[in-house]
Amino acid sequence: STSYVQQMQGHLGVLFHKEAKTALVLGSGYGITAGALAAHPGLERIDAVEIVPGLLDAAPLFSPYNLDYHKDPRMKIHVDDGRHFVARGQRWDIVSINVSDPHLPGGAALFHRDFLELVKQHLNPGGVVLLHAFGTDTAVVLKTLSASYPHVRLMRAYANGFNAVASERELVFDRDFASLELSTPSVQRALAMAGILPPVDALELFSGLWRLRDLKTLM
C-alpha cells in the first residue's frame, strides 16, 4: 500500500502534464516517489530533497521498491529543508510534496497556504503540484490546496485519503498520451511493483480521477 500511494505522487504528475521535463520531490524519504518519476523517460531532471541524511544513505535498503532511484543519472539528490530549497529560485514542471503527515515535526509548514503560494512562484507555466491528504485533516488540506490552485483532481490513496494533483490550469487527462506512457517498460515495471497488475487496467485507473469541486462532502 505504501508503494502504491507513494508512486502515485509521481505518476500522476506526468500523466496530467505531458510536456513536463523537470520535477521536484520534497521529502524523498524511501525514494519511491522519485523512483516512479524516474520511470518516465521524458523527464530530463529530477530533484529529490530530504532533510534526514540517514534516509538517503539507506536508499539501497529500500530497493527494489524505490526502483533504485539514486542510481538514475537524471536524479539530483539534496540534503536540505524543502521550504528553503524551493525558495532559492529554480522552477519545475512538477512539484510533489511528499510529506504525508502535517502532524510530523515541521511537516505542517509544507501544507500551509503560504508555502503553496511559494511553490506556485516556482512552477513553470502549466505546472502541477501533488499532495497527499488523509485522515481527519483531509478536508482542511484539500480546501487549503484549492485556495491556491483552482483545479484539483483526486485519486483514492489509503482508505481514508487521497493523492491530489493540482494546477492553475484545467487538468486534462490525455488518454492517447497516457496509453503510450503506461506502455513504457520502465513504467510497467514500476506499476507492477506497486501492485497494479491484471486484471486492473492502469489506463482506466488513472482516467477515473474525481474533480474536487464535484466532491462537495469533502468541502
- Measured torsion, CA atoms of residues 72, 74, 75, 78, in degrees rounded to the nearest 10: 140
Closest-CA residue to 90 (of 62, 64, 67, 123): 123
- 41 contacts 180 by C-beta, under 8 angstroms: no
Give me 23's grid cell: 520535477
Give me 165's grid cell: 494533483
Question: In the prediction, which pLDDT does 202 show?
Answer: 96
Q: How far apart are CA 7 and CA 189, in angstroms?
A: 12
Question: In the prediction, which pLDDT does 216 show?
Answer: 64
| Cα–Cα distance list, 166 to 53, 103, 140, 215 (Å) | 29, 22, 15, 15
| Cα–Cα distance list, 175 to 3, 8, 36, 56, 167 (Å) | 24, 17, 19, 35, 19
pTM of the predicted structure, to 2 decimals: 0.95
* pLDDT tens digits for range 55-98: 999 999 999 999 999 999 999 999 999 999 999 979 999 999 99
Peptide bond into 64 cis (omega under 30): yes
| Cα–Cα distance list, 100 to 90, 157, 163, 192 (Å) | 24, 11, 10, 23
Average pLDDT estimate for 175-202: 96
Question: In the prediction, which pLDDT does 119 show?
Answer: 98
Give me 53's grid cell: 541524511
Question: In the prediction, which pLDDT does 199 show?
Answer: 94
Closest-CA residue to 49 (of 67, 37, 61): 37
- 152 contacts 212 by C-beta, under 8 angstroms: yes
